[in-house]
Amino acid sequence: MLSSIKTLNQFIVEKQADFPFAKGDLSNLLTDIGIAVKIINREVNKAGLVNILGSTHEYNVQGEEVKKLDDFANKQIISALGSGDECCVLASEENEDIIALDHKVKSNPRYVVVFDPLDGSSNIDVNVSIGTIFGIYRRITPDEMPASVEDCLQKGRNIVASGYVIYGSSTMLVYTTGNGVNGFTLDPSIGEFCLSHPDIVIPNDGRIYSLNEANYMDFSEGLKRFINYLKTDAKKELGKFSTRYIGTLVADMHRNLLKGGIFIYPGTEKSPNGKLRLVYENNPMAFLIEQAKGKATDGKGNPILDIQPNELHQRTPLYIGSTELVDLAEEFIKRYG
């Protein structure tokens, strides 16, 4: 029944009481993000019909080729957050430096947003699920001072809200403000995100592991033994495991969040810090997974949320998912190196 539908905006307003100090600013910011991703979703859904697939023939700060949809999504989020008056500074995967916002409406905006505008860029041209990741902090620079990169280089423990959007067979926005995790599915008939997955809790002992096994020979001995254990002995002790790997952090994370499992992007001999970025990928996802009763570490016993970022595009290994599986992976790494 229509009366039972709860939209994202209704849900945000209801939960505003959880943040009396925010005076509606956080709610407005989340609403702005919701609007931006609807526009991105529109372009994603018609990408094959218009000239927005393919590359811009430019490269971002990581040396990665920028896709046209990457560029569109980045500009759309910057525009949406810049038009409001809640955010003082942004950090994006696609920009080398921070993006300071000059507000004329409000002199002291208090929030900081870090984001990956379009996660899974390599999957764009082959119509595989992609996503958007975001994290929100309170600024730490004094109100009378300009916002700085230090506002974006906070530990993940300081996040006040984070989430992701997955553009797949349906479009979902999943987010947390530190009081559990809720998921909203976009209803294209009314153009609204509607609550579809309330109070998401990740199964404690999933049976899925997700990583790129093509890099097996570059993995540490401990990780190799963990994978071999899941393929062989685990069947007798824990049950049969399946490997599922999409190559989009958002998509792999979303599946494991709902079904239980572990996603791993480890350090290797070639890339000891892995590939994923701490500030705008790992921290937002780690904050969300902990709110869903899961766990996220660097594989060496260090919770992702406790790592101090030293630079905007810093990379860290990521072991994230069901608590029992993350603990088990770390046990093998600790034992075998």
Give the residue extent of every domain in the chain. 2-197, 208-336
Predicted pLDDT of residue 125? 75
Amino acid identity for residue 92 in this structure:
S
Number of H helices, E strands in the chain: 9, 15
Sequence-separated (6 or more) residues with CB below 8 Å from residue 232: none
Say if 2-197 and 208-336 have the same CATH topology. no
Predicted pLDDT of residue 62? 59
Name the nearest CA neighbour of 265 among 241, 296, 293, 310: 296
d(CA 136, CA 163): 9
Name the nearest CA neighbour of 153 among 164, 139, 143: 139
d(CA 268, CA 306): 22
Predicted pLDDT of residue 50? 47
Q: Are 309 and 278 in contact (CB under 8 A)?
A: yes
CATH 3.40.190.80 fits 208-336, yes or no: yes
Span 123-153, pLDDT tens digits: 777 778 899 999 999 999 987 788 899 999 9
CATH 3.30.540.10 fits 2-197, yes or no: yes
Q: Are 178 and 200 in contact (CB under 8 A)?
A: no
d(CA 271, CA 314): 12
CB atoms within 10 A of CB 241: 20
Predicted pLDDT of residue 16? 75
Helix runs in 165-304, H state only? 221-231, 234-237, 249-259, 283-291
Query: What are the residue ranges in the chain where pLDDT is below 50?
Result: 1-2, 49-50, 52-53, 56, 105
Q: Are 321 and 294 in contact (CB under 8 A)?
A: yes
